[in-house]
Amino acid sequence: MTTMKLALRVAYDGTAFYGFQRQPGVRTVEGELIRVLTKLRIIKSPEENDFKGASRTDRGVSAFFNVVSFVPGERSDLALPRILNHHLSDVWVLGVAEVPDDFHPRFWARGKTYRYYLINEGFDLSRMLECAELFEGTHDFSAFSRLEPGRNPVREVTSLEILPRNGYYVVEIKGNSFLWEMVRRIVNALRFCGLGLLEKEEVKGMLEGIYTKKIPPAPAENLVLWHIKYPGIEFKTDEKGLNKARRDLFDRYSKALTRAALFGDALLEL
| Catalytic positions, written as ranges | 58
Query: Cα(97)–Cα(94) distance, rounded to whole angstroms?
Result: 10
Cβ neighbours for 3, distance < 8 A, ≥ 6 positions apart:
71, 101
Cβ distance 67 to 8 under 8 Å? yes
Q: Which helix (H) or strand (E) holds 91?
A: strand 91-99
Q: Which helix (H) or strand (E) holds 74?
A: none
CB crowding 40-68: b at 16 or more within 10 Å, else e: bebbeebeebebbbbbbbbbbbbbbbbbb
CB atoms within 10 A of CB 97: 18
How is residue 88 annotated by DSSP? Answer: -
CB atoms within 10 A of CB 10: 26
